[in-house]
Structure 1
Amino acid sequence: MSTTLCLHPRWLIPVEPAGLVLENHALVMQGERIVAILPSSEARTRYANAEHHTLSEHALLPGLINLHAHSAMSLLRGLADDLALMDWLNNHIWPAEGKHVSDQFVFDGSVHAMAEMIRGGTTTVNDMYFHHEAVARAGISAGMRTVVGCSVLEFPTGYGINADDYIKKALHAREQFVGEPLVSFTLAPHAPYTVADETFRKIITLAEQLEIGIHCHIHETRDEIDASLKQYGVRPLERLRNLGLLGPNLVAAHVVHANDAEIALLARHGVHIAHNPASNLKLASGFARVAALQAAGVNVGIGTDGAASNNKLDLLADLRLAALLAKAESGNPQAVPAAKALEMATLAGARALGMDAHIGSLRAGKLADIIAVDLSGLDSQPLYDPISQLVYASSREQVSHVWINGRAVLADRELCTLNAGQIQARAHYWRERIATH
């Protein structure tokens, strides 16, 4: 029989309804699920035989959802900084990947990234990379909810020779993990400038047949749009609309450059956006129109992108940045208030992945993906509004406990499923190997 655990935080923030903060309440989990949220006094009586854990100065909230990441690229952190996107890709990242990316590289890099993400309160990652089995194994090893995005491109890499080969490998990898509770798959055409029309059509058909999502970089830079106008006579989103790609099963990463008509198009088709504020700034890609997207009804979640372009996988930092940038870009200080920013990093991400019935908020019946953030420190005082404090003043170092699927993966800041020393040793190994070349 599953152990019943009652958590008694100072503040319980369920995310839905938006802005709600419960004090003197407990969350009860049994096995992989939340079974009740109720006053603490009642929980101690009704669940007298349960294990009770008091978090006296903590906020309890849903695990954060990283809606766009390249986890294995943690091993390329700091390799090629302060460059524009295409220079960064063509002259540095892709050549390094061609020399070094392997099943072991991807497993080691993904485990490294997942340890970092867990320590920062992230419980689900929507990934996009190569060697899909290695990403899935890393997720299982870490105990992290992992959406494996299977990259598809037209040109050869060390992993595949052409689009059909990438798709074949994606389908084979997916078959290996059917029934694994923490792992699911999406098809991830890299971007409009690396994927041909016929390949997009194949991906659309397969995604419909398999009932899986699609994950793609779209409108990340002005150069991408200019190249599409030159090659196809239309902007990338119009081309993708004509192909039938736009729909509620699409997570579009970045969408930095969208005009009013394109925002309306995204809303009409129910496309979800993975906003990557830190990466967009570092690569000088621009300022996404998050306030306008949300005003139009577009669902916007938050991603870190890869550690090679961020350079940290810290959703608490990125949700703060997302809120601040939205205010500056729109000229409206009320754009993306704290509660909305928190929703972007939790429930909005769950909606984008089609998982909002199971994760993204704290509610009886949902899976127990839960984090505790310690707000007792000097940097969090005085505290008037715990949601505001979480978004604008908290750091990942304050995340003390993480549960995924009801299992403790971080307790008192110590990893429970992964060995930090071993991860660091592997990072040193790859650093020496890559630096040598």
Structure 2
Amino acid sequence: MSDRTPDACDLLIEAGFVVPVVPHAVVLENHAVAVTDGKIVAVLPVGEARERFRPKQVVARPDAALIPGLVNTHAHNPMTLLRGVADDLPLKVWLQQHIWPIEAAVIGPDFVSDGITLAIAEMLRGGTTCVNENYFFPDVQAATYKRHGFRARVGLPVIDFPTAWAKSDDEYFERAGEVHDQWRDDALIATAFAPHAPYTVNDANFERVRMLADQLDLPVHLHLHETAQEVQQSQEQYGQRPIARLDRLGLFNDRLIAVHMTQLTEAEIHLCAERGVSVVHCPESNLKLASGFCPACALERAGVTLAIGTDGCASNNDLDMFSETRTAALLAKAVAQDAAALDAATSLRAATLGGAKAIGFDHLVGSIEPGKQADLACVDLSALETQPLHHVVSQLVYATGRQQVTDVWIAGQSKLAQCELVDIDMAGVIANARQWRERIVAIRTT
């Protein structure tokens, strides 16, 4: 025993396995993570931790893996309230004939707040602690995420037609500036410009986005090269593929968070790497809408920051990052025709540190390292479905279900404890979702 006086800490999490993500592919057996003031202060063997620290609280999970909280790098979370309203349709029909008309009738602050609250509950139960959000009413989004202590980068929407959020180009940008100013110094919430897509944003608005993103040091979160039709339309209208058009407008750079990217040439893949563009892979949504296949392995091997997102519940239909990561890994192998493509450790990194890096949060979250925020998830691996346990990271990616998440913390604050949500009334959230279903059904039948 050491004669040293133990250091005080707020929380000591002891786990059978700690998967820090940095270093890559490492698993630390029988390790503990010490947390003080919401930050990780040490990662060390359990025995040493018990000697070194005098924690206010100890959480012991000897059969669990402790991982960084998952980062959902592309979501439209108010759309949880549209889960299942229009399935088995191609993107253009799904969007223009179903989703947009319903949204036009229901979008407002209450819809956004209630949809995000439902999404937060679902994400926490699945080990997700951070989201890159893209929807209307970003002021309400930010306030809702903040109220629940959930980490988010909230998109400031720009689109070429009037919506319930803004009626003109100038109003989109004015309101974006107001929301950014309100949240610019917040510990949990940040903003990004979110021009919808190349087919819904004109050159002048893209140039305005680029200028303001540079001035305010903000990322740009954009659907890009999602379908072959988008690429064809751009060539007909602008004489260029969308990436070439964005490059001409000065937007294809290290601020860009490019979502979907299912239609890429080899030259475009290398340009992504050269310019520092981050790519968000949403495999299940792309599969469901038959949009195409993101060449995730080729992007990753070229050195592109690869992240994973669920997209919205209207096109997925869940916010399950374990399922999404498994699908990303399996699909990458089929697309690359290489069984070694996007291995388990690389896939887990994309779902954690890759997402954090894409949205500019990698100095805060995405790995279990001293100095970072304690955004963490405990995953029980003792279940029959994850036995025998030959390889922890392999089991996390290929065999684990989100129902095995037992505990979640954001900035050291407990959000899920022994599978129970903390400070969220789950019965109330479900009852509220059912009320929205009745409203939406009534709209569709009138």
Q: Same fold per TM (> 0.5)?
A: yes
1:236 equivalent in alignment to 2:242: yes
The 5 Å alignment of 1:104-143 reads: 104-143=110-149
1:387: which partner in 2? Answer: 393
1:217 equivalent in alignment to 2:206: no
**3-state DSSP class of the match of 1:308?**
coil
**3-state DSSP class of the match of 1:223?**
helix
1:250: which partner in 2? Answer: 256
Report the Cα distance in structure 2 between the residues aligned to 1:71 and 1:403, rounded to whole angstroms: 20
The 5 Å alignment of 1:324-343 reads: 324-343=330-349
Contact 1:141–1:417 at 8 Å: present in 2 too? no
Report the Cα distance in structure 1 between the residues aligned to 2:424 and 2:190, rounded to whole angstroms: 21
Report the Cα distance in structure 2 between the residues aligned to 1:238 and 1:179, rounded to whole angstroms: 34
The runs of at least 4 consecutive aligned structure 1 residues that moved more than 3 Å come to none
TM-score computed with the length of structure 1 as normaliser: 0.98
Question: Among 363, 371, 383, which residue is 2:377 paired with?
Answer: 371
Q: Which amino acid aligns with 1:66?
A: N
**3-state DSSP class of the match of 1:267?**
helix
> What is the root-mean-square deviation in Å for CA atoms of aligned residues?
1.2
2:311: which partner in 1? Answer: 305
Q: Which amino acid aligns with 2:155?
A: G
* Offset, 1:180: 2.1
Contact 2:30–2:62 at 8 Å: present in 1 too? no
1:12-53 CA-to-partner distances (Å, cap 9, x unmatched) read 000011110001211100121000011111111111354222
1:279: which partner in 2? Answer: 285
Question: Among 10, 13, 33, which residue is 1:4 paired with?
Answer: 10
Q: Which amino acid aligns with 1:345?
A: A
**3-state DSSP class of the match of 2:254?**
coil
Greater displacement, 313-322 / 142-151:
142-151
Structure 1: segments with no counterpart, 5+ residues: none
Q: Which amino acid aligns with 2:161?
A: F
Structure 2: segments with no counterpart, 5+ residues: 1-6
2:165: which partner in 1? Answer: 159
Report the Cα distance in structure 1 between the residues aligned to 2:383 and 2:220, rounded to whole angstroms: 42
Contact 2:8–2:54 at 8 Å: present in 1 too? no
* Offset, 1:141: 2.1
Q: Which amino acid aligns with 1:43?
A: A
| CA gap 1:2/1:73 in 2 versus in 1, 3 angstroms | farther
* Offset, 1:160: 1.5
| CA gap 1:413/1:367 in 2 versus in 1, 3 angstroms | same
The 5 Å alignment of 1:60-71 reads: 60-71=66-77
1:39 equivalent in alignment to 2:63: no
Greater displacement, 317-326 / 109-118:
109-118
TM-score computed with the length of structure 2 as normaliser: 0.96
Greater displacement, 167-176 / 21-30:
167-176
Q: Which amino acid aligns with 1:335?
A: A
2:405: which partner in 1? Answer: 399
Report the Cα distance in structure 2 between the residues aligned to 1:329 and 1:210, rounded to whole angstroms: 38
Question: Among 171, 174, 197, which residue is 1:191 paired with?
Answer: 197
* Offset, 1:162: 2.5
* Offset, 1:414: 0.8
1:147: which partner in 2? Answer: 153
**3-state DSSP class of the match of 1:305?**
coil
1:315: which partner in 2? Answer: 321
1:436 equivalent in alignment to 2:442: yes
**3-state DSSP class of the match of 1:135?**
helix
Report the Cα distance in structure 2 between the residues aligned to 1:435 and 1:141, rounded to whole angstroms: 29
* Offset, 1:397: 0.2
Report the Cα distance in structure 1 between the residues aligned to 2:31 and 2:12, rounded to whole angstroms: 10
* Offset, 1:121: 0.5
**3-state DSSP class of the match of 1:149?**
strand
2:3: which partner in 1? Answer: none
Report the Cα distance in structure 2 between the residues aligned to 1:162 and 1:295, rounded to whole angstroms: 42
Report the Cα distance in structure 1 between the residues aligned to 2:186 and 2:113, rounded to whole angstroms: 17
Aligned length: 437
1:355 equivalent in alignment to 2:357: no
Q: Which amino acid aligns with 2:268?
A: E
* Offset, 1:2: 8.7
* Offset, 1:304: 0.2
Report the Cα distance in structure 2 between the residues aligned to 1:4 and 1:100, rounded to whole angstroms: 44
Q: Which amino acid aligns with 2:223?
A: H
